[in-house]
Amino acid sequence: MAAIRLSHLTKKFGAFTAVDALDLLIPDKEFVALLGPSGCGKTTTMNMIAGIEQATEGQILFDDRDVRRLPPNQRDVGFVFQNYAIFTHMTVYDNLAFGLSVRKLARAEIDRRVREMAALMRLEDRLEWPSSKLSVNELQKVAIGRSAITEPAIFLLDEPLSNLDAAFRAFMRTELKHLQHQFQQTMVYVTHDQIEAMSLADRIAVMNLGELQQYGTPAEVYNRPRNTFVANFMGSPSMNLLPCRLIAEAGALCFGFGEAGRLDAGGDGAMQHRARAAAGAEVIFGVRPEDLEIAPPDGPGGLKGVVSFVEPVGPRTIVHLKLAEQTVKVAKEKRYKVSIGAAVRVTAPMAKCHLFDAASGEAIGLG
């Protein structure tokens, strides 16, 4: 069991900086996701924690122990590879036993623990199989079991679910989370899939271009994104980010969206406060698709729009609206009926809206 502290961690490949002065504290027994698009430095960070990659600068501490100079086989770290890296010339049993047998444990002890792990991973009837004959789903279970069996203080997973079919992925997501609660290990999980990160992690570190964008609980990252990158990356469909004009009229503030109309910031105190902080700046108005409301076209307030496209995606219906210059997505329940071309009005509860600086992309007035 160990907390991981990365301070000023940097990795350069020649002139390219893959990870740039990363500071991150991963508390003991927490499940932390490193999330970002490909090339954001998340895998490099994980490889440095494991010791497969040498840091150019900075420190890696496990609890208070500096491990930067420690070879990977002495770091006591479990690692599940994206492609599982199962030893194809061995049986499932030998794969599971590997970590214990290189530690020269007694045969009986190894046997007991392998069988225990096999039962936990539901692999009992596969133990004697050559691993080359396993399905992808089973390979994944062997990969996790093989690492977990040595009871490492830290468990690292590199996109372990990305090769699985959708149904098994949904199942493994639950199982993985449950396993973490059982193993009580510090887990670091690399993924580019925000759904996986949201559903699994205690905390999410959102990365882009080698830099940390935001670090917080899923709720924090989702509800209070620090910048437009995080706002756009989290959630599916992504947040509507609409450039707009701040208009002050008779003491009240509102957001102007050209021909489509205006949204009044008045009702909500916090938003008033934020809008004032932004006075004079170009701003981007952000609102999540599920927070928008669709209303008949002839009421007061809101923005005028026309339904341009309706996507039924199973449990939900995504309605695309064309405003004067912009398009917004609204998420509604399944079987929501609206016809393409219909004129509607869309309203946004200010308490659930966000404001970003158009130039820097930073959130405005976030505490």
Partner 1 sequence: MAKLEFIGVSKSYGRNVAVKDVDLVIADNEFFCIFGPPSCGKTTLLRLLLGLVQPDQGEIRINDQRVNALGPKERNLAMVFQNLALFPHMTAGQNLAFPLVERKIDKAEVARRVAAVAETLRIGKLLKKLPAHLSGGERQRVAIGRALVREPAAFLMDEPIAALDARLREEMRVELKRLQRELKHTLVYVTHDQEEAMSIADRMAILEGGMIRQVGTPDEIYNHPQSRYVAELIGSPPMNFIKGTFDPAARRFRADTFGFETTIGLSAPGVAGGVTSFAIRPEDIVIREAADQGSGVVAEVYEIEPLGAYAIVDVNIGETILKVMVPGQPSYQLRQPIRLDFPAGKCHLFDGATGALIAGAA
Partner 2 sequence: MTAGLAHAGGGWLPRPLRVLFADEVKRLGFLMSLPAQLLLLFIVVFPLLMQIYVSLTYWGPLDGESWIYAYKSLNPFENYGELFADGRFWASIARTMLIVVVSVPIEFLLGLGLATLFVDRFPGRRIFYSILLTPMMIVPAVAGYMFFMLFQSNGPINDLLGRLTGLQVDFVWLSDPDLAIVAVMIADIWQWTPLMFLILLAGMMGVPEDQLKAATLLGANSWQRFWRIVLPKMKMVMIIAAVIRVVECFKIFDLLAVMTKGGPGVETETLSYYIYKLTFADLEWAYVAALGLFVLIALSLLAWAALLRLQIAQRRAETQPGA
Interacting residue ranges for partner 1, rule: CB under 8 A = 37-38, 165-167, 170, 173-174, 177-178, 181, 193, 195, 198-200, 218-219, 222-223, 234-238, 288-290, 308-309, 311-316, 318, 320, 331, 333-335
φ, ψ of residue 28 to 5 degrees: the values are: -55, 140
Residue 18 or 231: which CB sits closer to partner 1?
231
Judged by CB under 8 A, the chain residues 120 through 139 that form the site for partner 2 are 126, 128-130, 133-134
Question: Min. distance of Cβ 99 from partner 2 in angstroms?
Answer: 4
218 contacts which partner out of partner 1, partner 2, none, CB within 5 to 8 A by kind?
partner 1
360 contacts which partner out of partner 1, partner 2, none, CB within 5 to 8 A by kind?
none
Question: Min. distance of Cβ 170 from partner 1 in angstroms?
Answer: 5
Question: Min. distance of Cβ 107 from partner 1 in angstroms?
Answer: 34
Question: Min. distance of Cβ 36 from partner 2 in angstroms?
Answer: 22
Residue 83 or 223: which CB sits closer to partner 2?
83
Q: Rounded CA gap, 308 and 339, in Å?
A: 9
Which of 36, 41, 78, 289: binder of partner 2 (CB under 8 A)?
A: 78
Question: Min. distance of Cβ 199 from partner 1 in angstroms?
Answer: 3
Residue 108 or 167: which CB sits closer to partner 1?
167
In the numeric block, which tokens belong to residue 195? 């759904």
Residues with Cβ within 8 Å of residue 37, at least 6 apart in sequence: 192, 208, 233
Q: CA nearest 210: which of 25, 16, 41, 9?
A: 41
Per rule CB under 8 A, is residue 13 in the interface with partner 2?
A: no
Across the beta sheet with 16-26, the strand order is: 16-26, 4-13, 57-62, 65-66
358 contacts which partner out of partner 1, partner 2, none, CB within 5 to 8 A by kind?
none
181 contacts which partner out of partner 2, partner 1, none, CB within 5 to 8 A by kind?
partner 1
Which of 5, 11, 141, 146: binder of partner 2 (CB under 8 A)?
A: 146
Per rule CB under 8 A, is residue 183 in the interface with partner 2?
A: no
Degrees to nearest 5, angle at CA 231 with 227 and 232: 120
Q: Rounded CA gap, 273 and 250, in Å?
A: 16
Contact 354, 285 (CB under 8 A): yes
Q: Rounded CA gap, 152 and 273, in Å?
A: 48
294 contacts which partner out of partner 1, partner 2, none, CB within 5 to 8 A by kind?
none
Judged by CB under 8 A, the chain residues 82 through 121 that form the site for partner 2 are 83, 85-90, 98-99, 102-103
Contact 321, 306 (CB under 8 A): yes
Give the other-Cβ count within 10 Å of 96's Cβ: 28
Q: Rounded CA gap, 289 and 311, in Å?
A: 13
CA–chain centroid gap for 306, Å, is 33
> 33 pairs with which residues across the strands?
189, 204
103 contacts which partner out of partner 1, partner 2, none, CB within 5 to 8 A by kind?
partner 2
Q: CA nearest 157: which of 124, 119, 183?
A: 183
